[in-house]
Copies of this chain bind each other. A is one copy, B any other.
């Protein structure tokens, strides 16, 4: 009753009944092919690798880039606001900002209105650096386009727009 899948292509059959060499491309994924999550996971790994490689010279990872971009576009945000907007744990954002602040890209300014919170700003150096990061990120995006096609990338963005 359950699906059978082992025999992707019955080529190269050998006489002996025992195990034979199996090429990776003839291993069936069975139910996995119908799961969006599996494809998305594999794609996301590829994307992050390409991003990390393309921004390797400037040593910026995807999450760091997203934090810098949001702070750059919305100066003065609190850590809570940034964390909530990007779906990052606020505990995790602490370490991210520690790193970015050590690199003089971001500064935490004590808020006068709410002395619990910090207003986040890019440093002048951070703004300059972010401009460069954006150029490299655009280059990465062109790699994505080259990989899956221009129309497919746009459809992807449209389909997933609700999650941003």
Task: List residues of A whose CB falls within 8 A of some B CB.
Answer: 2-6, 18-19, 22, 24, 27-48, 51, 62, 66, 69-70, 72-78, 81-82, 84-85, 87, 111-113, 119, 131, 134, 137, 140-141, 144, 148, 152-153, 155-157, 159-164
Contacts and interface: CB of A to CB of B under 8 A. Distances in A.
Nearest to A152: B159
A148 B162 CA distance: 8
A30 B81 contact: no
Contacts of A31: 69, 134, 137
B32 A70 contact: yes
A149 B34 CA distance: 15
A141 B34 contact: yes
A110 B27 CA distance: 20
Contacts of A3: 73
Nearest to A2: B131
A43 B40 CA distance: 8
Contact of A30 (B73, B148, B163): B73
A163 B42 contact: yes
B119 A6 contact: no
Nearest to A76: B19
Nearest to A117: B19
Given A43-B40, A46-B163, A141-B34, A81 B22 contact: yes
Given A31-B134, A48-B37, A42 B74 contact: no
